[in-house]
Structure 1
Amino acid sequence: MQYYEDVEIGTTQEFGEYEVTKEEIFEFAEQYDPQPFHTDEDAAEESAFGELVASGWHTASICMRLLVDGFVDDRASMGARGVDELRWKQPVKPGDTISVRTEVLDKRVSESDPRRGYVDTRIEGTNQHGDVVISWIALGMVARRNPDEAA
């Protein structure tokens, strides 16, 4: 288990691989983001994208699953304070394979609760060509191993 004290600024990781299917693009969009370029192939051809694309929220959800499986499960995570700078950089299409890379940008001990530290991490979802399709800065909270010690 990795605690706040184990996290080093500048550390990078790459992990995960998830192939996006047309069926799940439809399924996610029908339930959460029913815009025509996510739910109808003919309408999508007439859109700015020119073809069916996944919802950005679907892409974020895929990346979140990859983060939990490959990153968060090994960390003493206490959740997150939010995200900054969420950007959808490129559309995700059926058949794309998504992976994630992370970079620790900053860390500091919480002033209000010394049991936790704040860790800011850049998250990038990439496709099979290495192109960034989504990015954000995760404002994570990580348990401290020894909260009574000075930071």
Structure 2
Amino acid sequence: MEMTKYIKTASIEAEQFDGSEAMAKKYLLDIPTVSAKDKVASGHTVYGISTLEGYLYVYKGDWIATGSDGEHWPIANYIFRRTYKPLPVIPPAVAGIIKWYKQHYSLTILLSDAFDLRFPENISNWITRHDEIIARAWLDGYETEDEDDEK
């Protein structure tokens, strides 16, 4: 039997931990009670965080993820870089088009209409030059150029 491949479908918010006390306070990190040897990693203080999976260490350079229920957990930088990528950023006008077409038509029709110049020329040109970004935005969500709100 062949193994099936999967992708992660939930979006998260994440911030790279800079080792500062301000970020430690923001995420309620503490300095764990461990041996002096384990408290220092690459010359930086090691912090700890209580997660749904238990108590985990957080090192400078790790990412602190926030889930849909507000829970936090650390992700090592090398794992984060292999596993996550930011949502595409698109112009607000294109976001409106995607939203409308998702309710009424399909991605194929949106792209076809853009190729047929059924939108203002600058918008049709943007869509046709960025068709892979449009597809990712359609499937995974997006951010707009002047908003931080995920769609």
TM-score of the superposition, structure 1-length normalised?
Answer: 0.28
Structure with the bigger percentage of strand: 1
Structure with the bigger percentage of helix: 2
Q: Which has the larger radius of gyration?
A: 2
TM-score of the superposition, structure 2-length normalised?
Answer: 0.28
- Give the structure, 1 or 2, with the largest relative contact order (CA under 8 Å, sep 6 or more): 1
